[in-house]
Amino acid sequence: MTAPVSTGPNTNVDAAFGIDIGGSGIKGAIVDTRTGELKTQRVRIPTPVPSTPDNVAEVVLELVTRAKWDGLVGATFPAIIKNGVARSAANVDPSWIGTDVDAAFTKATGRDVTVLNDADAAGLAEVRFGAARDVAGVVILLTFGTGIGSGIFLNGQLVPNSELGHLELDGHDAEDRAAASVKDKQKMSYKQWAKRVQRYMSHVEALFSPDLFIVGGGVSKDADRWVPLLELQTPIRPAQLLNNAGIVGAAMAAAER
């Protein structure tokens, strides 16, 4: 199933199970899709190595089984997702390319699963319930984690699969220079890393002239340590849903498909 682009009011079900698949961890919880609140405690399982379709599907099944959930399931995936099929695999096993992720997870869990790009899911949640609620114009969400994810919205409508983390920047893939994982691997201070984020976000700003940037990912919880160091013309807001954004957005996609 293709994930929806509308962020309008939910008219279908009031709860769904959301799963957020990342390069280092896979998280899940039952979500109240009318409020964006988690109805159960978030459970996290490390992403298996190798992160092949079979291995990841086993973790997805384990999360759903632990929650004793028998309804709709939404799942994020760190790739371009077209009609449920992965068209890239930047931070997961390359065997995912060409895999029908919807079908794989639906078969593994025995539940109806909707899959969408991870940053798109986080953006859906922030536009509906978080930092971009009721914001008109162009909103760009950037998630800094294992890589850099992006979600672009125009007046609340999603432009899917933007993948701005793979823009070329100074001869490099942008996320190879400015992802949060690079900060950790190179043991950079927030001040040092912010210079790279500044260079990257200035480039994105010049290309899209957004009305608002939202910055998410694990480092958003420390936004006060690096966001004030950025000098951009566009307002910047930390994601409000933090690490729950992907879970909430995935559940929304399932409920509103």
8 Å CB contact between 43 and 84: no
Maximum separation of any 2 CA atoms in the chain, in Å? 49
Q: Do domains 15-120+245-255 and 124-241 have the same CATH topology?
A: yes
> Residue 117 is encoded by which pair of tokens?
């790009």
Grade residue 210 by pLDDT with cuts at 50, 70 and 90.
very high
Q: Read off the pLDDT of residues 159-199 as tens digits, 9 standing for 90 and up.
A: 999 999 999 999 999 999 999 999 999 999 999 999 999 99
**Per-residue pLDDT, 257:** 83
Measured between alpha carbons, how far is 252 from 247 in angstroms, rounded to an integer?
Answer: 9
According to DSSP, the residues that pair with 236 across neighbouring strands are 213
Measured between alpha carbons, how far is 17 from 69 in angstroms, rounded to an integer?
Answer: 7
Q: Identify the CATH class of 15-120+245-255.
A: alpha beta
Summarize the confidence of residues 96-122 as an average pLDDT: 96
Residue that wins the pLDDT comparison between 237 and 92: 237
8 Å CB contact between 21 and 75: yes
Q: Which CATH architecture has domain 124-241?
A: 2-Layer Sandwich (3.30)
Grade residue 143 by pLDDT with cuts at 50, 70 and 90.
very high
> Residue 83 is encoded by which pair of tokens?
């009609």
**Per-residue pLDDT, 7:** 43
8 Å CB contact between 135 and 203: no
Residue 36 Ramachandran class (φ > 0 left, ψ -120 to 50 alpha, else beta): left
8 Å CB contact between 211 and 137: yes
Residue spans of the domains in the chain: they are 15-120+245-255, 124-241
Would the pLDDT of 233 be above 70? Answer: yes
According to DSSP, the residues that pair with 46 across neighbouring strands are 25
Measured between alpha carbons, how far is 236 from 225 in angstroms, rounded to an integer?
Answer: 14
Q: What are phi and psi of 44, to 5 degrees?
A: -120, 135
Nearest Cα to Cα of residue 151 among 118, 129, 180, 107:
118
What DSSP character marks residue 21? E
SS3 of 76, please?
Answer: strand
Q: What angle do CA 253, 41, 110 make, to 5 degrees?
A: 50
H-helix or E-strand spanning residue 245? helix 245-255
What DSSP character marks residue 211? S
**What is this structure's pTM?**
0.89
Q: Read off the pLDDT of residues 44-91 as tens digits, 9 standing for 90 and up.
A: 999 999 999 999 999 999 999 999 999 999 999 999 999 999 999 877
Question: What is the total residue count of the chain?
Answer: 257
Q: What is the dihedral of CA 32, 153, 43, 11, to 10 degrees?
A: 20
Residue that wins the pLDDT comparison between 32 and 13: 32
